[in-house]
Amino acid sequence: MYMHRSLYRKVAMVYFTLGLLPYSCTAAVHSYCSFLLKGQWHFRKSSHHPLDSLSCSIKYLTFIWNLTFCITGSLILAIGIWGLSDKESLTSERITYLGSDPMLFFVLAGLAASTMALLGCTGALFENTCLLKLFTGGIITFVILEALGGIVLVSVQHQIKASLQDSLMVAVLRYQDDPDLQFIMDEIQAGLQCCGVESYLDWKTNLYFNCSSPGVQACGVPASCCLDPLENGTISNSQCGFGALKLEEFVAPSTIYLGGCVPQLSRWLHNHAGVIGFSCVILIAVEVGSLLLATKLLAGIAFARTLHDSGREQMYLLSHHQRQRGFYS
């Protein structure tokens, strides 16, 4: 009897060392070991692999981190879809202008951000290595594409300037047709204190502002071109730019901005290059941080599974060894 109790204690200590039997359950040690030694225990591989405290912290930090970006990306996606549907941009009549619709950027950016964040969020919560590997692969792809994009931006500045001119000219031509383009153009002109693409005369190409137009906007420019679009400092005068294209060049500067937005934007980008570069570094740092968290979590899951499988294998070998030595009755 004493020999059996000693054997129970030894087996229990082996289980405790492997992390498979809590030290506090001494009352159940004899019955548990007896159950094992009588041949009633069968090896079954469990699908649960408990993580250590550090890996658990990384797991929930990764989950919360990606949940935040998932919600943000979903909101951006919802705004983009709402904008497209509100303007009926997906109808057969307006589908040809979809490529120049600024809401398309919100849809694509929101879809990419929410999808990637959902992979990381779900993969971390359920400890799914497949989803986490897809997440890390996507983050690496984004970082590479952003780096290549930065190189391209630096190397083809003249082509980018030409593309910017074309985009702003589209906004001038479709100023009254697309509320989003109108909003963007007004913000650019008011913020940079400019008018038109290269000069205020570019508004002659607009169907409504052209001097041959029969409407009240003929020979005019948008109110965002005005030096002071507010009357008495409070009320916005939407007609302050009407007739501006008829003014002589030495009179027009007292009413509207004459310089185009492309030269002004080039100067603004040059003056704020440091801030733009710092913002890009922050973006890449966020992505690299997500990548490091996911990589560390993958390593923690792999280690936990290895330890778990090793412990199960040692349990099986121990029971098999005891059976071969004739300890089973």
**Domain spans in the chain, listed from the N-terminal domain onward:** 2-41+307-324, 53-154, 161-269
Looking at residue 75, what is its pLDDT?
96
Looking at residue 157, what is its pLDDT?
78
The reply to whether the predicted model has a pTM over 0.75 is: no
Per the model's pLDDT, the better-predicted residue between 30 and 48 turns out to be 48
Q: Angle, to 10 degrees, between the axis of helix 273-324 and the axis of helix 261-271?
A: 60
45-48: Cβ within 8 A, 24+ apart: 45/309, 45/312, 46/308, 46/312
Bridge partners for 235 per DSSP: 231
CB atoms within 10 A of CB 199: 16
Q: What percent of the chain has pLDDT over 90?
A: 41
Per the model's pLDDT, the better-predicted residue between 307 and 138 turns out to be 138
pLDDT confidence bin for 41, thresholds 50/70/90: very low
**What digits encode the pLDDT tens for the residues 282-306?**
989 999 999 999 999 999 888 888 8
Looking at residue 46, what is its pLDDT?
41
Q: Angle, to 10 degrees, between the axis of helix 261-271 and the axis of helix 157-173?
A: 130
237-241: Cβ within 8 A, 24+ apart: none
CA torsion 32→37→39→42, rounded to 10°?
Answer: 50
57-89 b/e (C-beta count within 10 Å ≥ 16 → b) = ebbeebbebbbebbeebbebbeebbebbeebeb
CATH architecture of 161-269: Orthogonal Bundle (1.10)
- pLDDT > 70? residue 309: no
- pLDDT > 50? residue 26: no
pLDDT confidence bin for 182, thresholds 50/70/90: very high
Per the model's pLDDT, the better-predicted residue between 159 and 73 turns out to be 73
Per the model's pLDDT, the better-predicted residue between 194 and 21 turns out to be 194
- Rounded distance, CA 132 to CA 120, Å? 6
- Least confident range of 18-32, 87-101, 168-182: 18-32
- pLDDT > 70? residue 44: no
Average pLDDT over residues 126-150: 92
Q: What share of the chain is helix, strand, coil (3-state, %, to 5)?
A: 70, 0, 30
Residue with tokens 């359950």: 25
Residue with tokens 């909003």: 183
- pLDDT > 50? residue 275: yes
- pLDDT > 80? residue 96: no
Instruction: Give the residue from 74, 139, 138 showing the smallest Cα distance to 107.
Output: 74
Q: Are 168 and 261 in contact (CB under 8 A)?
A: yes
Looking at residue 323, what is its pLDDT?
58
Average pLDDT over residues 79-95: 73
Average pLDDT over residues 176-193: 90
Task: Name the average pLDDT for the chain.
Answer: 80
- Rounded distance, CA 118 to CA 138, Å? 12
Looking at residue 42, what is its pLDDT?
40
Q: What percent of the chain has pLDDT over 70?
A: 73
